[in-house]
Every structure is written in C-alpha cells, then in structure tokens.
Amino acid sequence: MQTTRYVRNALHMEDVALEKIADKYGTPVYCYSAAQITHNYNAYRDAFARVTDLKNVTICYACKANSNIAVMRLLGKLGAGADIVSGGELARALAAKIPAKKIVFSGVGKSAEELETAIKKGIFQINVESEKELVLIDKLSTRLKKVTPVAIRVNPNVDAKTHAKITTGKKENKFGIDIDKAPALYKKALKMKGIAAVGVAVHIGSQLTAIAPFERAYQRVAALVRILRKQGNTITRVDLGGGLGITYKDETPPDLTFYALMVRDVIMPLNVHIVLEPGRSIVGNAGVLLTRVRHVKEGRDKKFLILDAAMNDLMRPALYDAYHAVLPLKKKTGRVTYDVVGPVCETGDTFLMGEKLPPMQAGDLAAIMSSGAYGAVMSSTYNTRPLAPEVLVHGRKFTLIRRVQTVADIIAQDIVPDWMD
C-alpha cells in the first residue's frame, strides 16, 4: 500500500493534494497519513494472527520514532501499546489514552523519578539494563509496597549489519546485560521482594533489512530462557524489540509473514507471551516533510537546490548519512543533477548530493519522503528556526496536530536577568 502518490501530476497523500497543506500552514511542515499508519500496524497484527492467537502477542509501538500524541492515539485505538524510553514519553502515552498495562519502559539511563512514576502507574513491564537499575527498582518497589514486573534486556553480541550509530546488540554497545552473565543476575532477582523477573528482552538495532540477525539473536534468547527456567526463574514473556527496516532508496525490508514464521519456530515453543516494539516500520513511510525551494545556486561545478527545510527539521541525513528521496509536488519531466541542501549555516546541512531530480526553481514545492520516523521528534530550533508544524491526513481531511511555532515563541522561553536591565 502506498498512500502518497501522484494524482493528475499532483503529489497527494490519501485524497489530499499536498500543495493545499503547504499553502495553508507554510513550509517546512510534516504530513502523516492515517491510512498508511493503520495499514502498517495491521500488517504486524495480521502476520502474527496467521501463526498464533493474538492474545499471546502485545504490539507496543516504539514512540521514540514519532511521539505526537495524535499519532499515538491513532495507534492506541487500533490496539497498540507503547514502548517508551523516558518519563516524558510515559506522560505522552498516558495522554494518548494508552493503558498503563500496555506500556513497556525501555532505555539505558532511567532516573529514579521516572522509575517511581512508572511503578506507581502499574505499567506492563520495565526492561532492565543493568544490575544497579534492578537494585534501584527493587528498592523503589519495596518502599511503594509494589511488585514490579521486569524483563532483563540481554545483549546477545549479534551484529545486525546496520549503521554503526543505530546498532545496539553488539558487545561494545551500551545496551543490555551480557547474555552470558544474565543467569547470575536472574538468580539475584529471585531474592528481591519488589521484583518479578518474568521476562527476557532483546533489541539488536534499527533499520534491519534481513531476518537472519534477528534469528541468531532470538535463538540465543531461547537458549537463555531454558537455562533460566532450570535455575528456578519463571519466565513468561519474551520482548523481541523492534528494528525492522523500511525502504528509503533500494532496501528490501523483511516480509512480515516470514518474520512471524521465524518467531513461531524459534520463540513460540517456549510458551511465552511475545512483546514486539516496532517504530520506524509503523510510521516511517507514512510521513513526508514538505518544503519549498528558496533558490537554485549555480556553483563552479554543481547546482545547489536550496530548500527552506534544514537539518534542524530532519537530522537523519546529517546524523546518519541517511538517504531520503525528494519529489516535486508537481510532476515534471527531465533530469538535472543537484546537491539538495538547507539554509542552516553548516556544511552538514545537506540532504542529497549529486541527485538527479526534475528541473526545479525558486518557489517550487517538494516532499522529502519517508520522514515519518525520527523526523519531527529529533528536530530542534537551531539558528532560531521554529519547529515545523505537523499535520495528520485522513481521507479528504487534514488536521493540524502540532501547532505552528513562531520566532516569538522561541524567544519567549529565554529569561534576561534583572541585573542586566
């Protein structure tokens, strides 16, 4: 399914010509397709429905990919839980009316305050990243007279063969407990009154386009579960994390049916409840960043297509050398080679280099594709540039879901000391 396409030479999202959104709210502006998000979520649900009873599976949307409350509310209404990595994301998930009993708290550096709030709210589970964190959760839970369900996140030392900055399952990464040391920590958990160590968690990275790394990691997790049960631990859950990739350029993401079949063969014989944490694969290709060409600069050896969107709006190209296709909102013929850049005063403010695009000129509108994940959530006000608004498209309708920020809004946050007057 592809909800963003040309209709009579005008780029549409669902039944809305994207030019209408740019005209109403200006650029840059993020646009998300409710239909695409729904389709992507249902693809997970349907794939696992083919291999098991869905009562055995909880899909917790990894909201760090896109934590707009409207997006999270849409997914919550579809049945999704939430995978959070901060107290702020917990507040967002609850504001989106996602039940606490469907929230998983991941992340390597949770504060005592964040953990206490999560414990009080009675969330589904906390994914523990270290022995010190386990001890802290036990201390907080005991004081609050609670027993907190946890899954210890293990590091299986599996190379996901993805970008170095988004791999998380190798031994040199900061995430998780060395899988070989996990049995000793689970033994300690058995003696903790405030802890119910009911699960094992794993997450080996992001933007994976092959099933084999998942399978190697899950086989190691399955072997660990069997060891833990023999030593007296009651393991009833396995959290498989997320990480399935999407197509940005020429990648071929894993088929979800084959992924579900692999999980069936490797994990389901353990008779556990399975937790999935997809993020990018739910919202990535559901979003675009609309931008307008400021002008075309003729360099000595190349042409620069200078947009009004910048690295502060979409960090991924500068941060990961990530590729995002750029399409004109009005379909054109011909090809011109451009470096596509933003107006921020950084050489790294570059989206594409040596890209062949239709000829464009000042004032033309374009869409930076597949920017629904790790776009708006990673944006900043660098160079005192307002955050881009966000819009949700639903059929023929589109609704503002993050208000337009102004320069005055940014400046109003600063405080000049009285002694400077």
Q: Which residues are catalytic?
A: 345
- Residue among 148, 149, 219 at smallest CA distance from 179: 219
CB 84 within 8 A of CB 103: yes
DSSP assignment of 278-304, as one string? --HHHHGGGEEEEEEEEEEEE-SS-EE
CB 387 within 8 A of CB 381: yes
**Look-up: residue for tokens 């695009």?**
357
99 CB burial (10 A radius; 0-12, 13-18, 19+): middle
CB 345 within 8 A of CB 259: no
Main-chain phi, psi angles of 348, to 5 degrees: -70, -10
Are the C-beta atoms of residues 212 and 167 closer than 8 Å to each other? no
User: CA 248 from chain center: how many Å?
Assistant: 15
Coil/strand/helix, residue 164? helix
Query: How many Å separate Cα 111 from the centre of its chain?
Result: 21
CA 349/CA 255 separation, integer angstroms? 34
Q: Is the bond leading into 28 cis (omega within 30 degrees of zero)?
A: yes
**Measured distance between the N- and C-terminal CA atoms of the chain, rounded to whole angstroms:** 59
> H-type helices in 34-176, by residue range?
34-49, 69-78, 87-95, 112-121, 131-143
290 within 8 A of 22, measured Cβ to Cβ: yes
The first and second tokens of residue 85, run together, are 């990595």
Task: Provide the CA 49 distance to its chain's centre, in angstroms.
Answer: 23
